Structure 1
Amino acid sequence: MSTQDVSVLAVNNLGLNTTQAKNWQTFLRDSGYNPGTIDGQLGTNSWKAAQRAFNAWGYRAGTVDGIAGSNTIKALQRFLNDAGYGLDVDGIAGAQTKAAFRDFNS
């Protein structure tokens, strides 16, 4: 596997387009959590920033490792629910979670 393949796999925008992902990165930055370059690619630095934010805000993302795993998705779902989305907190980035995340960042 080449380095390029690894970097592509490390990006997980959860259905966001580049503009929506930039909005999320900007939201994190403006909230005091540095996502790195605002480039519309939710990679390790963006997810570490989100995990730090979620943990600080009480959404329990767990380990800050930059991976959008089950605990991070649960924290995202809790965060989105507090914004009024009414998601099941199951740790799965399914269609409803992705739609809510897109809407939040539109």
Structure 2
Amino acid sequence: MRSNALGKTLAGLVAIAGLAAGTVATAGVTYAAPASSSPTAAAAQPAIAAATQNFGLTTAEAKNVQRFLAEYWGYNDTIDGQLGTNSWKAMQRFLSGIWGYTGAIDGDPGTNTVKALQRMLAAQWGYTGAVDGDPGSGTKAAFKRFADS
């Protein structure tokens, strides 16, 4: 009995020492969190999802948008048909110059970016929905018309 209690105590001390040193490798399997509940993995998912946001455009249509942004709004990245951070930074410059975007030029097509996009699409590309920052089907259809022009 006594040797079993001593073994458990030593195992506990080794686990505590491993945690204090910044690793769970010595703690054993029962102390490790499953990979799917890792805060790092959960935090990485939104960044990956936000990396490219074409709002329903095909690659060819997104290339048209990138060409427009390159010609007039300082986009100097690859014309690849993937509206990523640099494409959206150029789009935000365009929207701030004319369509009332007042947020940071950060390349994140969030609510304020979409609202400014919707104002632009409503003025010239047949968008009739609410200026609500939600890139729904009406926003996507008007964005396609813009991209195809």
Structure 1 Cα separation of the partners of residues 102 and 66 of structure 2: 17
Alignment of 1:71-90 (within 5 A): 71-85=112-126, 86-90=128-132
- For the pair 1:23 / 2:60, whether they are aligned, the reply is no
Q: How many residues align?
A: 103
Q: Which amino acid aligns with 2:61?
A: Q
The two structures have a TM-score, normalised by structure 2, of: 0.63
Note the residue ranges of structure 2 that are not aligned, 5 or more in a row: 1-40
- For the pair 1:105 / 2:126, whether they are aligned, the reply is no
Structure 1 Cα separation of the partners of residues 59 and 120 of structure 2: 21
Kindly name which structure, 1 or 2, has the bigger radius of gyration based on alpha carbons.
2
Q: Which amino acid aligns with 1:70?
A: T
Note the residue ranges of structure 1 that are not aligned, 5 or more in a row: none
Structure 2 Cα separation of the partners of residues 89 and 40 of structure 1: 26
Q: Which amino acid aligns with 2:144?
A: R
| Deviation of the 1:6 alpha carbon | 7.8
Equivalent pair of 1:59/1:79 in contact (CA under 8 Å): no
Q: CA RMSD in A?
A: 1.9
Structure 1 Cα separation of the partners of residues 131 and 76 of structure 2: 24
Describe the SS at the equivalent of 1:12: coil
**Percent identical across equivalent pairs?**
47
Moved over 2 A (4+): 5-9
Q: State the match for 1:93 in structure 2.
A: 135
Aligned CA distance change for structure 1 residues 76 and 8 (closer, same or farther; 3 Å): same
Structure whose residues are more often helix by fraction: 2
The two structures have a TM-score, normalised by structure 1, of: 0.86
- For the pair 1:50 / 2:102, whether they are aligned, the reply is no
